[in-house]
Amino acid sequence: MTDVLPGERRATLSAAKKSSRIPRLRELALLPALAVLLIIGAVVNESFLTASNLISILGASAALALVVLGESLVLISGKFDLSLESTVGIAPAVGALLVIPSGFGTEWPAFAGIAVILVVGAVIGVFNGFLIVKLKLNAFIVTLAMLIILRGLLVGATEGKTLFDMPEAFFTLATATFIGLPISVWLALILYGLVGFGLRYHRVGRSLYAIGGNREAARAAGINTDRISWLVFVVAGVLAALGGLVLTGYVGAINASQGDGMIFQVFAAAVIGGISLDGGRGTMFGALTGVLLLAVVENLLTLAQVPSFWTQAVFGGIILVSLMLARFTGGKPQT
Amino acid sequence: MTTVVEAVDVGRRYGPTVALADVSLTVAAGESHALVGRNGAGKSTLVTILTGLSKPDTGVVTFGGEPAPPLGDREGWRSKVACVYQHSTVIPHLTVAENLFINRQPTRRGVISWSRLRRDARELLDSWRVAVEVDQPAGELSVEDRQLVEIARALSYGARFIVLDEPTAQLDSDAIGRLFVRMRELQDAGVTFLFISHHLQEVYEVCQAVTVLRDARQVLTAPVAEVTRTQLIDAMTGESGGLTVVDAASRDRVAADAADVLTVAGLSGDAFTDISFGLRRGEVLGIAGSNASGKHQVAETIYGLRAPTAGVVEVGGRSLPRGDVKAALRAGIGCVPRDRHHQGLVLGMSIADNSAMSILDRMGSAGLAAPGARAAVATKAIAEYDIVAAGADQPTDALSGGNQQKVVLARALASDPSVLVLINPTAGVDVKSKEALLGQVERVRAEGKAVLIVSDELDDLRPCDRVLVLRAGTLVAEHEAGWSVGDLVADIEGVASDD
């Protein structure tokens, strides 16, 4: 306490670094909104701020978090992928159909089925990338078509029925816990950490921002823009498939409509979290806060026993309000 | 003197069009070599060949005696030559530091070291004396700073030959002065420039040698000191006589009792305060000033693109509502906006669509605007304004800058306005188009319309009966036709003239 100097030195240092810290402060724009929601939740419902409820919020949002992670990468690189929500459904379904007795009749071992789930995600990503990067088709329309095709394939393959009887391994991610939290939550946290680190500290990560910010300039700087754009679609596909596996475990079955409509939440979380739809801007921390905000809102609506007929309208309204909040606390246009 | 780059008999065709034919260019180390020519003369083609973006069909390019690297070897090209384009080649959301070292960020154990990146960037900028904050997002840089950062980036790749593609087009006169000082410093440090500009004055100011291209051919290469301005213009246009613009001093003055058609009284707004003037039928009024003087804002406020904070704009005695373009159009104001790419044209749309855009409401009954009627408007405009185009349905982005500007002018005049407001009407167009555009001003004036010209280029102000000078948002001087360049520039810059 008697040593004054270090404090002073710290003060000048932080003043010198001020300009570099301001952009990082913007990433925290959603935290006030999140804090307000937590306070409201605690006041409105006494069971809200309990450990079990908070864990259930995390468990419920792990699948969404993984898909948002993939979508954020695609958005940062300046592209779109709407088909991720259908990947969430079809990838685990293909894996399950290869494993369960009532499926294709192959009855593969569980681990092979799970590996297939990730491969299906990657294959869809490769195909999307081929159409968008190689053939230079419009990403929005290509992935919209893929969304419909994949959904149709899933409904066709399952004849609209729900798949049960998967081996326990299909559910482990969502059901097994480690230090109180589901494995899926740990998995999401680790992946966010890894990707976030890579985006900031690895050349490939930085080149995503470069490609999304100014594709021609990135190419001129020697970045292989096509290869990286393609790779991003593959990674996003794998992450969506993984999200689908987590969702399967969380629900305990695969419905033919698994993931249906999820893409709206994915985009909402990403944009609320500060990922620019124009590319080149956004961080994984921001995207994660976006996911958490949506999850907390959903949980609050359930706890407040809002009639289920009204939840959609309320949910949409809250997305709009939080977008405005993020706009004014963050101060940056979200276009 | 050693040569930095030498192109011998290079030629390039695109399909049936010859873009470049047997051009030879030798640039000596440490000089600034000007490359001038009208739009479409082959300058861009030569630049793409010199920067390794396309391969010449004939001829060879050598750098310091060594043959040019193969097209795919970007690394090799980057270490020899770089081009600073008019459009930005930085990544807007990344910091200046990262832009300088994109895709070659310093790493420690495979991980980017941000502190070293910032330090390296600082050192690089310091060594070339570029005073730019390295932590700033590159998208927030001014055009001037952005160009300096791009030059520093090129130098850091080892290139000592830099192509500047119309670097002064978007700069005001102060910034141009600073750019020239910087160019001379870099020249002293061994950097060689190929300087492309439409402003011949700049060629004399900063270059030692000049090459003129015309119709894909090389028509002149000489030391700048040995060519006169007239010779240069003759070489560019292929005819003698230089820039012929009607000087207002050579025609009769406007009758003093002619009524004001446009009255601006006590107008204040973005970057200007308390501006008052009147504009009579058949009069051409100019407004001069530096980029920061607020002159563009005055013109944009008159046309309704901006809302004034005080004061009124009256057309024919009726005051206009604040900041309402539609009302201004209806009252009889036509405008050629400042930037034809952003405000003037919808580039992907045809000449017909663009030229009829402001009069869609008066083409047919019930708001209908038949394609045939729009095409007729455009065909008339093409003939009347001498627009070089394949037809009314050609997209405007396929036109040269001068022809694009003629389309914008045609649209401004399509509504038969009584007041025509021109903002930088000849920016980025070649000498020939400049003459044509200013010739239109004379025609319009003779019809009895009033014209207001706001421009960075003094040539544009020649047809004016009076020129008002704006400095720091206020009117400081008025010059009658026949003004001397020295006096006008002295008033614009706010310094005493000595010529």
CB atoms within 10 A of CB B51: 21
Which position has the higher pLDDT, B394 or A126?
A: A126
Between chain A and chain B, the number of residue pairs with CB atoms below 8 A apart is 68
Q: Which of A201, A218, A221 lies closest to B111 in CB terms?
A: A201
Q: Which of B91, B114, B118 lies closest to A210 in CB terms?
A: B91
Q: How confident is the model at residue A216 (pLDDT cuts 50, 70, 90)?
A: confident
A331 touches chain B (CB under 8 A): no
Residues 222-251, chain A, touching B (beta carbon < 8 A): 222-223
Residue of A27, A204, A214, A332 to mutate for B, most B C-beta atoms under 10 A: A214
Chain B residues in contact with A221 by the CB 8 A cut-off are 102-103
Percent of chain B with pLDDT over 70: 95
CB atoms within 10 A of CB B431: 23
Residues 6+ apart with CB under 8 A from A16: none
Interface contact B111-A213, CB threshold 8 A: no
Cα-based angle A152, A157, A163 (whole degrees, multiple of 5): 110
State pLDDT tens for residues A263-285.
999 998 998 888 888 888 889 99
pLDDT at A329 (0 to 100): 62
**For A128-140, what is the mean pLDDT?**
94
**Structural domain A29-34+48-330, CATH architecture:** Orthogonal Bundle (1.10)
A26 touches chain B (CB under 8 A): no
Q: Residue B254 above 80 pLDDT?
A: no
Query: Which candidate, B83, B77, B10, B14, places its Cα nearest to that of B46?
Result: B10
Residue A272, min C-alpha distance to chain B (Å): 18
Q: Of the given ranges (A94-103, A182-191, B215-224, B358-367), which has the lowest mean pLDDT?
A: B358-367
Percent of chain B with pLDDT over 90: 27
Q: Which of A19, A213, A221 lies closest to B103 in CB terms?
A: A221
Q: How confident is the model at residue B122 (pLDDT cuts 50, 70, 90)?
A: very high
Chain A residues in contact with B112 by the CB 8 A cut-off are 200-203, 206
Give the strands of the sheet with B58-63, arranged side by side. Answer: B17-28, B3-14, B58-63, B66-67
A19 touches chain B (CB under 8 A): yes
Residue A271, min C-alpha distance to chain B (Å): 16
Q: Point out which residues pair with B420 in neighbouring strands.
A: B334, B451
B140 touches chain A (CB under 8 A): no
Residue of A18, A200, A201, A216 to mutate for B, most B C-beta atoms under 10 A: A201
Residues 6+ apart with CB under 8 A from B341: B347
Q: Which residue of A has its CA nearest to B104?
A: A203
Element (H, E) at A217: helix A215-220
> CA-CA distances (angstroms) from residue A45 to A41, B34, B79, B135, B329?
6, 75, 66, 45, 60
pTM of the model: 0.74
Residues 6+ apart with CB under 8 A from B166: B86, B196, B197, B198, B428
B105 touches chain A (CB under 8 A): yes
Q: Residue B497 above 70 pLDDT?
A: no
State pLDDT tens for residues A84-100.
999 999 999 999 999 99
A206 touches chain B (CB under 8 A): yes
pLDDT at A8 (0 to 100): 36
Q: How confident is the model at residue B239 (pLDDT cuts 50, 70, 90)?
A: low
Burial of B271 (0-12, 13-18, 19+ CB in 10 A): middle
Chain A residues in contact with B102 by the CB 8 A cut-off are 206-207, 210, 217-218, 221, 223
Phi, psi dihedral angles at B81 (to 5 degrees): -150, 150
CB atoms within 10 A of CB A62: 27
Interface contact B88-A213, CB threshold 8 A: no
**DSSP for A280-303?**
S---HHHHHHHHHHHHHHHHHHHH
Q: Which of B74, B105, B118 lies closest to A206 in CB terms?
A: B105
**DSSP for B449-485?**
-EEEEE-S-HHHHTT-SEEEEEETTEEEEEEETT--H
Residue B386, min C-alpha distance to chain A (Å): 35
**Three-class SS of residue A118?**
helix
Query: Which candidate, B241, B243, B195, B239, places its Cα nearest to that of B214?
Result: B239
B91 touches chain A (CB under 8 A): yes
pLDDT at B120 (0 to 100): 94
Phi, psi dihedral angles at B338 (to 5 degrees): -60, -40
pLDDT at B402 (0 to 100): 83
Q: Residue B162 above 90 pLDDT?
A: yes
Q: Residue A17 above 50 pLDDT?
A: no
Interface contact B89-A216, CB threshold 8 A: yes
Q: Residue B202 above 50 pLDDT?
A: yes
pLDDT at B276 (0 to 100): 92
Chain B residues in contact with A281 by the CB 8 A cut-off are 93
Q: Quick one: CA dihedral A310, A316, A320, A325, positive or negative?
A: positive
Q: Residue B241 above 50 pLDDT?
A: no
Q: Which of A19, A222, A281 lies closest to B103 in CB terms?
A: A222
A215 touches chain B (CB under 8 A): no
**For B309-316, what is the mean pLDDT?**
91
A213 touches chain B (CB under 8 A): yes
B136 touches chain A (CB under 8 A): yes
pLDDT at A332 (0 to 100): 61
pLDDT at B414 (0 to 100): 84
A334 touches chain B (CB under 8 A): no
Task: Supply the mean pLDDT for chain B.
Answer: 85
pLDDT at A112 (0 to 100): 94
CB atoms within 10 A of CB B315: 23
Interface contact A223-B110, CB threshold 8 A: no
**For A307-330, what is the mean pLDDT?**
76
Residue A228, min C-alpha distance to chain B (Å): 13
Interface contact B90-A223, CB threshold 8 A: no
Confirm if B492 and B484 have CB atoms less than 8 A apart.
no
Q: Residue A231 above 90 pLDDT?
A: yes
pLDDT at A26 (0 to 100): 57
State pLDDT tens for residues A32-82.
888 888 998 898 888 888 999 999 999 999 999 999 999 999 999 999 999
A218 touches chain B (CB under 8 A): yes
pLDDT at A266 (0 to 100): 94
Residue B119, min C-alpha distance to chain A (Å): 13
Q: How confident is the model at residue B384 (pLDDT cuts 50, 70, 90)?
A: confident
Strands B32-36 and B209-214: parallel
Q: What is d(CA A207, CA A167) in angstroms, rounded to the nearest whole number?
A: 41
Q: How confident is the model at residue B462 (pLDDT cuts 50, 70, 90)?
A: confident
Q: Of the given ranges (A220-234, A321-335, B105-119, B221-235), which has the lowest mean pLDDT?
A: A321-335
Q: Residue B485 above 80 pLDDT?
A: no
Q: What is the DSSP letter of A254?
A: B
Confirm if B293 and B456 have CB atoms less than 8 A apart.
no
pLDDT at A11 (0 to 100): 37
Confirm if B169 and B179 have CB atoms less than 8 A apart.
no
Q: Which residue of A has its CA nearest to B157?
A: A221
ipTM: 0.78
Q: Point out which residues pair with B268 in neighbouring strands.
A: B310
B92 touches chain A (CB under 8 A): yes
Tell me which residue has tokens 């009627």: B373
Q: How confident is the model at residue A262 (pLDDT cuts 50, 70, 90)?
A: very high
Q: Which of A201, A214, A223 lies closest to B103 in CB terms?
A: A223
Chain A residues in contact with B137 by the CB 8 A cut-off are 23
Burial of B199 (0-12, 13-18, 19+ CB in 10 A): middle
Chain B residues in contact with A206 by the CB 8 A cut-off are 94, 98, 102-103, 105, 112
Chain A residues in contact with B88 by the CB 8 A cut-off are 214, 217
Q: Residue B341 above 50 pLDDT?
A: yes
Confirm if B336 and B344 have CB atoms less than 8 A apart.
yes
A217 touches chain B (CB under 8 A): yes
Q: What is d(CA A252, CA B476) in angstroms, rounded to the nearest whole number?
A: 79
Q: How confident is the model at residue A9 (pLDDT cuts 50, 70, 90)?
A: very low
> CA-CA distances (angstroms) from residue A156 to A89, A161, A170, A258, A306?
12, 9, 22, 14, 35
Residue B262, min C-alpha distance to chain A (Å): 39
pLDDT at B197 (0 to 100): 82
- Chain centre distance of CA B226: 27
- Enumerate the domain spans of chain A: 29-34+48-330
**For B478-498, what is the mean pLDDT?**
74
Q: What is d(CA B9, CA A98) in angstroms, rounded to the nearest whole number?
A: 67
Interface contact A223-B102, CB threshold 8 A: yes
Q: Of the given ranges (A258-262, B347-351, B361-365), which has the lowest mean pLDDT?
A: B361-365
Interface contact A201-B112, CB threshold 8 A: yes
pLDDT at A135 (0 to 100): 94
Q: Of the given ranges (A195-204, B7-16, B310-319), which has the lowest mean pLDDT?
A: B7-16
Task: Supply the mean pLDDT for chain A.
Answer: 86
